[in-house]
Amino acid sequence: MGARAILAALLVGASGYVIYGVVGLAFDDHGSLIHAVVFLAFIVLFGLTLKLIFWAVLSVLPRLFPGRYQKGERGIV
């Protein structure tokens, strides 16, 4: 699962860069509303990318350190 999550995070991040670049080239006016909307979408995609990377790291930790990171009642302790 870890490799798929990392690949998904990379695809989400790359798609954010592509959308931001294409719309930035199409609408070169930096004060336009579409530029602001795409920039907000880029921030959301970047946040999702960080979340997926964080989830992938947390899913790999119990395999790397079997006795240290165990799922308890309050999550990983």
**Per-residue model confidence as pLDDT tens digits over 21-70:** 666 666 665 556 677 677 777 778 888 888 888 888 888 877 777 776 66
Q: List, in sequence order, every residue forming a beta bridge with 75; answer none if it has no partner.
A: 72
Sequence-distant (6+) residues with CB within 8 A of 19 are: 38, 41, 42, 45
What's the total number of domains in the chain? 1
Residue type, 41: A
What pLDDT, on a 0 to 100 scale, did the predictor assign at position 65? Answer: 73
Contact 61, 67 (CB under 8 A): no
**What pTM was estimated for this model as a whole?**
0.42
**Max CA distance (Å), the chain:** 55
- Give Cα separations from 13 to 25, 43, 65 (angstroms): 18, 10, 29
pLDDT reading at 6 higher than 70: yes
Residue type, 17: Y
User: Which residues constitute the domain of residue 65?
Assistant: 2-76
Per-chain mean pLDDT for the chain: 72
What pLDDT, on a 0 to 100 scale, did the predictor assign at position 28? Answer: 64
